[in-house]
Chains A and B, each alone.
Chain A
Amino acid sequence: MMVMGYEPVIGLEVHAQLLTESKIFCSCSTQFGQPPNSQTCPVCLGMPGVLPVVNKRVVEYAIKTALATNCTIQRFNQFARKNYFYPDLPKGYQISQFELPIATGGFIEIDTESGTRKIGITRIHMEEDAGKLLHEINGGAAENSFVDYNRTGIPLLEIVSEPDIHTPEEAGEYLKALRAILQYLGVCDGNMEQGSFRCDANVSLRPSGERRFGTKVELKNMNSFRHVVRALTYEITRQRELLEYGDSVIQETRLWDENAGQTLPMRGKEESHDYRYFPDPDLVPLYIEDAWIEALRSQLPELPRQRRNRFIDQYGLPLYDADILVTSRQLADYFETAVRSCNQPKTVSNWILSEVLRFLTDPRDIVSFPVTPEHLAQMICLIHNGTISGKIAKKIFEEMRTTGALPSSIVERHGLVQVSDSSKLEKVIQEILDAHPSLVADFRAGKEKVFGFLVGQIMKATKGKANPRMVNDILREKLAG
């Protein structure tokens, strides 16, 4: 989107819930969807006299994320208290990091219309999630709000981008790229709808060519990539109209209302926050040794972009195919496993993109897909060596999907082997021609489209098992007469 006269400046803050077993400072489970207040303890309820202790895996996940986003790890970092009163926060403060976050100064790469762009990462820090507030239970409006502290203390990484983003589409690409990295690392499941990957945006406009930033608005409540793009598009237009009419933008927090398709000012936050951060005296500082960083670096998987580029180089796939195949690590693994068994990368890719993905709502579900990559590969080899036709393959695929059976046994059981015996085919073709003398005459008189109809009849007579290339050749020969 191009905004004439004004340049939008967007920075994104992502909160990613980490896939640990236990919470960040206590041993309560992080399992989603449990009964309210069934996963709490004196530490995460903020009882007096308790001592929080850092979950080592949280620090490992933070380091891995920092390495994968080209950040500098701050060897010395520590937790701080962010003080404010809100009922989802039982202690009256959130344990976060402030002056000394675990990582700073990185970037990730995204694709834009004008090529690859680096989007800077300002910082990554670890913190605890807050509880969940409900404004009604049992349906209907209530006079009270209700709090479930199960989510309190679930580890989060906050990943803050530089204000390097200039269009809603770039924001969407950045989020997709970041989410894919976190998913490849196995540190976050990236589910925006369930709130395990949340995004707030800071957006401002400035006259083109101006270096200073305009007044920014913080956008919240965007629960999908689509919401983020729509909310930013709306907000940029709103701010541009204000500026064009000579009004000014007010610095505020606005909520995206997906149903109304607009952003609305958030109520009840007149006074600006004064968080009075200070180092948490209960948590000793962290010192990350080089050996620990290197050990974690050696565990990093091939990341989505690198893998995509390798798919293009190694398998000769088009960018479009490679992009889709690497959307999840599991799908990319599926593709590569299949190609190892049947070295026809483009055909394997075609089958995955056009058939397999139709049955998956989330590409990570490929791990439980009934057609294993080995079975898919075997089927593609059967097409490739001429045993079955592509048309029959679709039937076989359907049976593999519903029964999980081996393609070769399906072929055998149903007698689906392709007919490539030229004398058999000639016989069938002659019968069809004898049955349609007028069509033969039409064809010879120049009506080319009759050809397709005749092929269809032949396929029908052979239950789709005729080798299509041979049918073509023999039919042409006979019609040429």
Chain B
Amino acid sequence: MEVRILLPEPFFTEVPVKITAHDVVHVARLARLHIPDKEIEAMTGQLNAILEYFETLQEINTTDIPPSTHAVALTNAFRDDRCSPSLAPEEALANAPETEQSYFKVPKIIET
């Protein structure tokens, strides 16, 4: 079923035009990525180039086209509330760098 409903802000607000070095450092930290200082400038330029590329899309007239968040006009893909077998704990843990007694072992977390 196709649904035509206007989505609220801020999904479709204008994207900030320019990415700054500060934004790059912030996003890198959120993504737990280490970006050497000397690469920040290059990265800033590349990200801005990507945004500029997207700006091409702004040239299209979208006056009569409802916003959407998905590429397909589908809604309500549901499954029934039924169980099926889970993985065995050994399988679930197979890719873990470290395990102990069927737990994933991670660096000490202070926060509770």
Contacts and interface: CB of A to CB of B under 8 A. Distances in A.
Contact of B106 (A22, A147, A285): A147
Given A28-B86, A284-B72, A284-B75, A144 B106 contact: yes
A36 interface: yes
Contact of B92 (A45, A143, A146): A45
Contacts of B79: 27, 53-56
A135 B8 contact: no
B92 to A, nearest CB: 5
Interface in A362-380: none
B61 interface: no
A233 interface: no
Given A85-B32, A281-B70, A287-B1, A35 B78 contact: no
B111 A53 contact: no
A286 interface: yes
Contacts of A268: 110-111
B104 interface: yes
Interface string B28-53: 01101000000000000000000000
Nearest to A58: B81
B101 A137 contact: yes
B102 to A, nearest CB: 5
Contacts of A144: 98, 100, 105-108
Contacts of A55: 78-81
B111 A146 contact: no
A266 B111 contact: yes
Given A40-B92, A45-B92, A145-B107, A53 B78 contact: yes
A148 B104 CA distance: 7
Given A29-B86, A287-B3, A148 B103 contact: yes
Contacts of A27: 79, 82-84
Nearest to B10: A99
Interface bin, chain B: 35 or more
Contacts, number: 148
A471 B107 CA distance: 78
Interface string A25-57: 001110000011111111001000000011111
A269 B111 contact: yes
A78 interface: yes
A360 to B, nearest CB: 30
Contacts of A287: 1, 3, 75-76
B19 to A, nearest CB: 14
Contacts of A78: 69
A147 B7 contact: no
A38 B89 contact: yes
Given A40-B87, A274-B30, A287-B3, A146 B103 contact: yes
Interface string A145-170: 11111000000000000000000000
B112 to A, nearest CB: 7
B100 to A, nearest CB: 6
Contacts of A137: 100-101, 103
Nearest to B77: A284
Contacts of B29: 271
A401 B74 CA distance: 57
Contact of B11 (A35, A42, A279, A281): A279
9 contacts: A76-B3, A78-B69, A135-B108, A137-B101, A145-B109, A267-B111, A279-B11, A284-B74, A287-B3
Given A35-B89, A54-B78, A144-B98, 14 more contacts: A36-B89, A38-B86, A53-B77, A53-B78, A55-B79, A56-B79, A57-B80, A75-B5, A87-B109, A135-B108, A135-B112, A146-B104, A279-B11, A279-B70
Interface of B: 1, 3, 5, 7-8, 10-11, 26, 29-30, 32, 69-70, 72, 74-84, 86-89, 92-93, 98, 100-112
